[in-house]
Chains A and B, each alone.
Chain A
Amino acid sequence: MKKLSYSLAINEALHQMMESDPSVFLIGQGVKSPWYVGNTAKGLLEKFGPERVIDTPVSENAITGTAVGAALAGMRPVVVHPRVDFMMYAMDPVINEAANWHYMFGGKSSVPVVIWGIINRGGEQAAQHSQSIHAIFAHVPGLKVVMPSTPYDAKGLMISAIKDDNPVIYMDDRWLYNLEGEVPKETFSVPIGKGVVRRHGLNITVAAISYMVDESMKASMELEKEGIDAEVIDLRSVKPLDENLLFESVKKTGRLVVADGGWKTCGMAAEVSARVSENVLDCLKAPILRVTLPDVPAPASRVLEKAYYPTFKTIIDAVKVCYKHERGGDGPPCL
């Protein structure tokens, strides 16, 4: 183990995978420029050359399609979109082609591609430089969607995504890039579709993903002072969703707050809420609450921005509402 920042953990995953597998290559806009991709691509061009570290013109549709096509021809490409908003241009190769391919050809051909979209928001960047669209991809059959929240997972999930035989949407939040944590030096995988309990607790479950995990941890520490013992779950993958981990936690606590950095309507939090109420409704002592972005485009002005993004304080407020609510009955029926 060694201390590594989130972005350098991604970088280490790319170095190790490109070294061990000649079919892995990195393509996308700005892979030569830290201005675009931070230090995630540090040293790759020098080590692997321009044949496997390909900086491209601004052509998201063609370049993403190129990555998908290279995967069909036996490669394991990683295509990066340094700003996920621009990835909207690549919806055809991602949704029509990559996601459907294995199914529509009856399993005759698969698409081992990683489509990496960096969420890059805040700093008064406004509506087209701030979006977090993981729910859109999670909606589509055939795509897996992962959103690591720690340096350990950033590396382990990138490795899993590259090794996976299916298209994986890897979405990281630039707000996490300087976060430091313990990361093993060797190559390791974090399984896609498996969440993890970040803090054990008895009174309420807070299920979060990506940047909201850290906010949920901060919230849980504050709540502890007030005598509320929150369990924090880091889902890590939006799809497949680790249902069992969620259900077991809710069976124990009887209460759930879902914290997601995306929009509310038809978002990840809505999906988590639906799965829990479909499966463990009897265990719930209060309605499930969602902490998300409002259904509003990202604003520019700092004052509006501050009102826009949920923080640990928003989570604390939601937890308190949920905790006070009593649906009736004699305590948790599921223990």
Chain B
Amino acid sequence: MVRIRVCEESFVEPILKGEVRCPVHLYSGQEAIATGVCLALSGGDYVFSSHRSHGHYLAKGGSITELIAEIYGKEAGCSRGRGGSMHIIAPEMGMLGSAPIVAGTIPLALGAALASKIRKEKRVTVSFFGDGAAGEGVLYESLNFAALKKLPIIFACENNFYSTHLPIRECRPENNIFEIGKPFCIQSYRIDGNDVLKVYEVSKKAVGQCRKGQGPVLIEFITYRMRGHVGPDDNIQGTHTDIRSKEEVEAWLKKDPIKRFEAFLIKNRILKNEDLRRINQEVEVEVKEAHRYAKMSPYPNPNELTKYVFKEN
């Protein structure tokens, strides 16, 4: 969680300075979900993600150096500078890709789950998406097909209450995403997405169900993004301000998943304050070094503009 937070916050300054230009959707505030879910997975499991995907990539074991280099548009990036922040991938870790077309990767995750089923593997696939995706028809098609074929897939909906600028009350007659699984006979949960232990516990159960052929599972995680939809705040492009009230944002800052887990660790004498400081320092050093490496590493060669349109057989 700390690694994700420090990594995400490290982009604020480069974005404001114009060093990072691609659209960056920061995951700050939602770290407990990626962390808890991916901890419940094993190395061979698959995940797909959306535009807000850095947390999932890191939690699934993607390289922080390659992530940061990608966001600077460098050849050393995980997508060789062709994808930017919204297209990150670590196939060797089972992170099969992320894409910003809302709900676009949900059926792809369905396909990965179907592939495991055809091959009779025990692999589980997680599809991460936001509350905005609950407005897309393909989610319902996917829930139906997943349930029909009993696919080993977890639909992980991170409800942060805002679909870009639009609050959920203006998107749905009721704030009830977890209920959309029921008509398809899908085991569904709604849990506190800022409680990493709870996230892990429910995810582990869901993973177990999927491995036993009792999938799919839908989990709605209630959470909140600390930053804007894109960039550090919603005023980044000077077009609109964050419509969220100051009181609302402050109330959620108190539920910061990292502070909550740190308090738990101290209270239960698992770690001391100095341990927490050390963890933070180590991560700060790692992230700083990754930025340094990314900045000095070369951009893609413009002569290779047309490379990768097709794979050569």
Q: Digit string of B95-108 for contact with A (CB within 8 Å is 1, else 0)?
A: 01101010011111
Give Cα A182–Cα B309 distance, bound, in whole angstroms.
35
Contact of A101 among B97, B148, B149 (CB under 8 A): B97
Within 8 A of A (CB), among B1-60: 46, 48
Q: Are A52 and B118 in contact (CB under 8 A)?
A: yes
Q: Are B145 and A106 in contact (CB under 8 A)?
A: no
Q: Are A102 and B308 in contact (CB under 8 A)?
A: yes
**Interface: B142 (CB within 8 A):** yes
Q: Digit string of A87-123 for contact with B (CB within 8 Å is 1, else 0)?
A: 0000011001100011111111110000000000000
**Interface: B267 (CB within 8 A):** no
Residues on B with C-beta less than 8 A from A106 are 77-83, 308
Residues on A with C-beta less than 8 A from B110 are 62, 65-66, 69
Q: What class of interface size applies to chain B in its complex with A?
A: 35 or more
Within 8 A of A (CB), among B69-126: 77-83, 87, 89, 91, 96-97, 99, 101, 104-118
Give Cα A270–Cα B92 distance, bound, in whole angstroms.
43
Residues on B with C-beta less than 8 A from A74 are 115
In the complex, which residue of chain A has the Cβ closest to the Cβ of B307?
A107
Residues on B with C-beta less than 8 A from A85 are none
Give Cα A74–Cα B131 distance, bound, in whole angstroms.
29
**Interface: A163 (CB within 8 A):** yes
Q: Are A61 and B107 in contact (CB under 8 A)?
A: yes
**Interface: A67 (CB within 8 A):** yes
Q: Are B107 and A65 in contact (CB under 8 A)?
A: yes
Least Cβ–Cβ distance between A68 and chain B, in angstroms: 6
Least Cβ–Cβ distance between A106 and chain B, in angstroms: 3
Give Cα A54–Cα B149 distance, bound, in whole angstroms.
10
Contact of A105 among B82, B111, B113, B115 (CB under 8 A): B82
Q: Are A93 and B118 in contact (CB under 8 A)?
A: no
Contact of A102 among B108, B109, B118, B309 (CB under 8 A): B309
In the complex, which residue of chain B has the Cβ closest to the Cβ of A143?
B310
Q: Are B148 and A57 in contact (CB under 8 A)?
A: yes
Give Cα A57–Cα B115 distance, bound, in whole angstroms.
18
Least Cβ–Cβ distance between B290 and chain A, in angstroms: 18
Known contacts A62-B142, A106-B308, A108-B79; A69 and B313 CB within 8 A of each other: no
Which of B110, B111, B114 gathers the greatest number of chain A CB atoms within 10 Å? B111
Contact of A107 among B97, B111, B117, B308 (CB under 8 A): B308
Within 8 A of B (CB), among A55-77: 56-57, 59, 61-75, 77
Give Cα A101–Cα B311 distance, bound, in whole angstroms.
10
Known contacts A70-B114, A164-B313; A97 and B108 CB within 8 A of each other: yes
**Interface: B138 (CB within 8 A):** yes
Give Cα A63–Cα B149 distance, bound, in whole angstroms.
12
Residues on B with C-beta less than 8 A from A164 are 313
Q: Digit string of A42-60 for contact with B (CB within 8 Å is 1, else 0)?
A: 0000000001101011010
**Interface: B141 (CB within 8 A):** yes
Residues on A with C-beta less than 8 A from B106 are 62, 65
Total interface residues on A, CB under 8 Å, equals 44
Least Cβ–Cβ distance between A81 and chain B, in angstroms: 15
Least Cβ–Cβ distance between B92 and chain A, in angstroms: 9
Least Cβ–Cβ distance between B81 and chain A, in angstroms: 7
Known contacts A108-B79, A109-B91; A59 and B112 CB within 8 A of each other: no
Contact of B138 among A92, A101, A163 (CB under 8 A): A92
Q: Are A105 and B108 in contact (CB under 8 A)?
A: no
In the complex, which residue of chain A has the Cβ closest to the Cβ of B123?
A73
Q: Are B83 and A104 in contact (CB under 8 A)?
A: yes
Q: Digit string of B264-279 for contact with A (CB within 8 Å is 1, else 0)?
A: 0000000000000000
Give Cα A97–Cα B103 distance, bound, in whole angstroms.
11
**Interface: A142 (CB within 8 A):** yes
Give Cα A12–Cα B117 distance, bound, in whole angstroms.
26
Residues on A with C-beta less than 8 A from B48 are 69
Least Cβ–Cβ distance between B138 and chain A, in angstroms: 5
In the complex, which residue of chain A has the Cβ closest to the Cβ of B148?
A57
Known contacts A57-B144, A57-B145; A105 and B87 CB within 8 A of each other: yes
Known contacts A67-B111, A96-B104; A104 and B145 CB within 8 A of each other: no
Q: Digit string of A156-176 for contact with B (CB within 8 Å is 1, else 0)?
A: 000000011110000000000
Least Cβ–Cβ distance between B143 and chain A, in angstroms: 9
In the complex, which residue of chain A has the Cβ closest to the Cβ of B151?
A66
Q: Are A73 and B78 in contact (CB under 8 A)?
A: no
Q: Are B104 and A104 in contact (CB under 8 A)?
A: no
Contact of B108 among A57, A68, A165, A166 (CB under 8 A): A68
Least Cβ–Cβ distance between B151 and chain A, in angstroms: 9
Residues on A with C-beta less than 8 A from B118 are 25, 51-52, 70, 75
Q: Are A104 and B311 in contact (CB under 8 A)?
A: no
Q: Are A104 and B148 in contact (CB under 8 A)?
A: no
**Interface: A331 (CB within 8 A):** no
**Interface: B137 (CB within 8 A):** yes
Give Cα A70–Cα B115 distance, bound, in whole angstroms.
5
Least Cβ–Cβ distance between B170 and chain A, in angstroms: 24
Least Cβ–Cβ distance between A54 and chain B, in angstroms: 8
Q: Are A105 and B89 in contact (CB under 8 A)?
A: yes
Residues on A with C-beta less than 8 A from B80 are 106-108
Give Cα A104–Cα B89 distance, bound, in whole angstroms.
10
Q: Please name 7 pairs of A and B residues whose Cβ atoms are closer than 8 Å in the assembled complex, sorted by A.
A: A66-B110, A70-B111, A71-B111, A73-B111, A92-B138, A106-B80, A110-B311
Report A's interface with B, CB cutoff 8 A.
25, 51-52, 54, 56-57, 59, 61-75, 77, 92-93, 96-97, 101-110, 141-142, 144, 163-166
Given contacts A63-B141, A65-B108, A69-B115, could you give 9 more A-B pairs where the C-beta distance is less than 8 Å? A65-B138, A66-B145, A68-B111, A69-B107, A72-B96, A92-B104, A105-B89, A106-B78, A109-B97
